[in-house]
Structure 1
């Protein structure tokens, strides 16, 4: 069984880092509404576009999503 996107994203957490992917993961960790069980690109993308003011650009999500897909 593979990890959900959220589980994969949490491997990027690093509270002391200014790396955009680490900041995305750190902020998603504190986002109580983040769809933790979702693993569909469109649903995650829609959620982030509409609710994640902490994500300065969707390119960060796209990059992590690509890495997530390659991790299978």
Structure 2
């Protein structure tokens, strides 16, 4: 079974503070209602769009998603 996007993204936490992926992961971690078990692009993307957190921009989500898909192959 594929690891959730949330668990995959947590590996970016603790990196260089200026890295956008680190900011995204840290902000995601602090949103307790983030869909932690989700593996669906559409459901996570909708959550991020509706949340509109400046530390979780869609462009960074798309970048991390590409890593996530590559890692799943």
**TM-score (structure 1 length as normaliser):** 0.89
Q: Quick one: distance in 2 between partners of 1:26 and 1:52?
A: 15
Contact map agreement 2:6 2:36 (CA 8 A) in 1: yes
Q: Quick one: distance in 1 between partners of 2:52 and 2:8?
A: 18
Alignment partner, residue 23 of structure 1: 23
Contact map agreement 2:48 2:57 (CA 8 A) in 1: no
Structure 1: 5+ residue stretches without partners: none
| Cα RMSD after superposing both structures | 1.5
Alignment partner, residue 32 of structure 2: 32
How many Å apart are 1:14 and its aligned residue? 1.5
How many Å apart are 1:15 and its aligned residue? 6.1
Structure 2: 5+ residue stretches without partners: none
SS of match in other structure, 2:12: coil
How many Å apart are 1:54 and its aligned residue? 3.4
Report which stretch shifted further, 8-17 or 45-54. Answer: 8-17
Q: Which runs of 4+ in 1 moved over 6 A?
A: none
**TM-score (structure 2 length as normaliser):** 0.88
Query: Number of paired residues?
Result: 72
